[in-house]
Structure 1
């Protein structure tokens, strides 16, 4: 069993709760179930570390600690890989990409960025009433950060919050997702045992209930809340944080559209769309879960996508040949299945899939055709391996449908004419966009959404600046 990290010490909780292997549905370990009092102690430790140590001002020390944490993650990569496969249900092949290996490099990226990032900006002199005034801006750490992460990509999302906040000089209370606590607690153990990060600078909690999150979002000693999860929960986080007027950064849901223009390579696009929606069993907020196709090619494309979905291998995530693993829980599978059933009742055509597979929480790759763009299945985030196909009449209609959503996280377009594809991409209101299969993901690329997909950006220079305050100075020039 893992431990909480509070004020530099690895501690046990008064009670525990089960961590379940979603591929079997069986408990494989237990996690500490932190209380509100634990959260209050963690916040107090983070506040003290920020207010009374030189963590926020010693840039070279922070760089060294980030380098140490990167080295520790690399050294213990295989242990983290096995834990991620078991607890998250992530297929082994995915841990060699965005579930683990690629995100580890965020710590190296922010250590390198911190070496060169300018913390001071000169504004020049002005003259007023016969005196000259020199003005400049200094950037400093925003303070204590509460970082709350979801279950789907706990390493990637946890690292994307922790690395830039530490680089900025903040102190952090990191709350693991209730369904995937152990992999995040493992990060806390590496910090405690393999880095010089001072007590209180990083605190790591896990909890099965809402009390810990309530403390983190309402405490007056927390300056910044960064949350990744559903839009519904994000609204509640924003409301709770507003009581103390905290800075709030939200990365929320998505209902991203992949637009196939009439000159696209439909064979390639069908394969790309089918395998994308099955990545991590569809449990990705940026996955393109709506496929927009020319109306007169609808049936042809549906047939091609269905053929590719039949090629998706699913099952034991430990098997290197498995492409798709399970959903995280029985509750999540129930949600996905309920949405599919209601879609069929509302008139969508089930082409393939829509079946539960036991043991574990597996759901077959699912394709729904002829979907009404205003229907629940086309408007609400599913978070499962379910692709809906929506016909459109022309380019303007495709853009209209893509933008007809409360979300604006990601999207894609496929066309033989790159200029035409880029023009379409610029009209879709989303924070990230893939053109002809382009991969935007990387530690240096800002990630976040428009509209109700969130506020702010993770990763890149923008990700660092989320955790910085700007202070403007002026002095009478000599």
Structure 2
């Protein structure tokens, strides 16, 4: 006897719909490796319908005074709190994440971020009006860009959806968002929440639309003639494809891509404290975080002591079932990701040494042990490329110059951290590190008020903060003659 799979649906113009051609794909719980739902495999007709709904809803949403959009976002934040347990259950099933950690580490910041952008809705500031030519006054208008096509990733499906829809809606844009094909459940639930709020407050439910699907669905969204902007959080390859597709009609593009964060540990660091914080920042969410502390550069004078302490911390870190409150992280998100992480370990060069972990855990699901690899060189594959798993690599450096060279010596430039008691050194390093974020004596905290985004192959554009809000607006110059 088989259990019927739950049916997820697209959300278009306020209605839950199957794909127009009826195609579906199975959705797997990574903690069990078993399918629990089906989701639409959306094609061109579905994308057309969602874009038409967003386009039709845009003029009225754009023309609302900011205070009215703020009311909607504040109500959405309230509803997230009211329906938190539903969101937690959906995300845990989506990703195999420990329930307690979703409750403590994801729901509160998401609610806070929505409320931040609710406030930002009323801060559409421009430079002062003034006369820059005799007889004329110039003013600046800040306007929404239009319909936004947004593609969210599978590592934080709920939170990344918030990072996309909240600034877009606050600025007066309408949205069509696609979750990853492996994690659609929580985004479909978000559609139900937002749709009910829009309905209650008398706004078109076409302001927010969700379509499920695969890479081809995402391509159709980005290449569609309606959106004025495409935003994606994903791999470098996906970002390049989006940028290429969007270039055909010069859409705006907002890209948050991969990372390979260096964690530079100097000899004056409190080793016990650094190891404790770095291991959490490296293994949280199974290392499936673009900012994860997975590439440690440690001064040669404390290398052996640091590696021993880190390996011990790894051996004491637990992964496991969603209802186990003692685990730090759950499984990798899907079978392909498990295969990728295993591949990095299998291809390690002879000079590398696995200090802890290095293997799959359990007989079902996609769990991988917390892993430490030492003895690595700067040009090794596992140092240069994003693993996106619970694997921390360690290299030994001799001086500050070499630390900077190696830290910057990758194609990614999203986040980094420096560990030292020397304030001047910390300031020098923060200037020299070529990354969008530099943490000092900590790693991974984020706040709604500060920007998140990188350089180089980590993409461009900012999430969170007033800078992230700005990315969803356009600037118009208005000049008027004083002659009447």
Q: Would the TM-score normalized by the shorter structure come out above 0.5?
A: yes
Task: Indicate if the aligned counterparts of 2:287 and 2:388 stay in contact, CA closer than 8 A.
Answer: yes
Which residue matches 2:4? none
Name which of 186, 192, 198 aligns with 1:183: 186
Rate the CA distance shift 1:465–1:324 in 2: closer, same or farther, 3 A: same
Aligned residue pairs, count: 471
Which residue matches 1:295? 300
Written as runs of structure 1 = structure 2, the 5 A alignment for 1:448-459 is 448-459=453-464
Name which of 88, 108, 114 aligns with 1:107: 114
Q: Which runs of 5+ in 2 are unaligned?
A: 1-6
Matches of 1:151 and 1:449 in 2, distance apart?
19
Written as runs of structure 1 = structure 2, the 5 A alignment for 1:326-475 is 326-343=331-348, 345-357=349-361, 358-437=363-442, 440-475=445-480
Rate the CA distance shift 1:220–1:198 in 2: closer, same or farther, 3 A: same
What secondary structure sits across from 1:263 in the alignment?
coil
Deviation, structure 1 residue 347? 2.4
Matches of 2:133 and 2:344 in 1, distance apart?
65
What secondary structure sits across from 2:113 in the alignment?
helix
Matches of 1:37 and 1:234 in 2, distance apart?
24
Task: Indicate if the aligned counterparts of 1:414 and 1:436 stay in contact, CA closer than 8 A.
Answer: yes
Deviation, structure 1 residue 71? 1.4
Deviation, structure 1 residue 32? 2.5
Rate the CA distance shift 1:56–1:442 in 2: closer, same or farther, 3 A: farther
Matches of 2:343 and 2:147 in 1, distance apart?
40
Which residue matches 1:161? 164
What secondary structure sits across from 1:258 in the alignment?
strand
Q: Does 1:74 align with 2:81?
A: yes
Which residue matches 2:98? 91
Name which of 257, 262, 279 aligns with 2:262: 257
Rate the CA distance shift 1:287–1:439 in 2: closer, same or farther, 3 A: closer
Name which of 2, 5, 9 aligns with 2:8: 2
Which residue matches 2:147? 144
Matches of 1:266 and 1:119 in 2, distance apart?
46
Which residue matches 1:134? 137
Task: Indicate if the aligned counterparts of 1:93 and 1:323 stay in contact, CA closer than 8 A.
Answer: no
Q: Which deviations, in whole Å up to 9, do the C-alpha atoms of 1:19-55 show, x marking residues without a partner?
A: 211111111222222222101110111112224x254
Which residue matches 1:20? 28
Which residue matches 1:124? 130
Task: Indicate if the aligned counterparts of 2:99 and 2:322 stay in contact, CA closer than 8 A.
Answer: yes
Deviation, structure 1 residue 193? 2.2
Matches of 1:441 and 1:125 in 2, distance apart?
41
Q: Which deviations, in whole Å up to 9, do the C-alpha atoms of 1:320-378 show, x marking residues without a partner?
A: 221121001111111001011112x3521111111112211001111110111111100
Matches of 2:63 and 2:221 in 1, distance apart?
20
What's the C-alpha RMSD, in Å, of the aligned pairs?
1.5
What secondary structure sits across from 2:303 in the alignment?
helix
Rate the CA distance shift 1:333–1:83 in 2: closer, same or farther, 3 A: same
Matches of 2:463 and 2:241 in 1, distance apart?
20
Which residue matches 1:271? 276
Which residue matches 1:194? 197
Matches of 2:153 and 2:139 in 1, distance apart?
39
Deviation, structure 1 residue 217? 0.9
What secondary structure sits across from 2:297 in the alignment?
strand
What secondary structure sits across from 1:288 in the alignment?
coil
Name which of 37, 41, 59 aligns with 2:45: 37
Deviation, structure 1 residue 162? 0.3
Q: Which deviations, in whole Å up to 9, do the C-alpha atoms of 1:246-280 show, x marking residues without a partner?
A: 10000000000000011111111122222221101
Which residue matches 1:205? 211
Deviation, structure 1 residue 57? 4.0
Which residue matches 2:3? none
Matches of 2:92 and 2:14 in 1, distance apart?
28
- TM-score if structure 1 supplies the norm length? 0.95
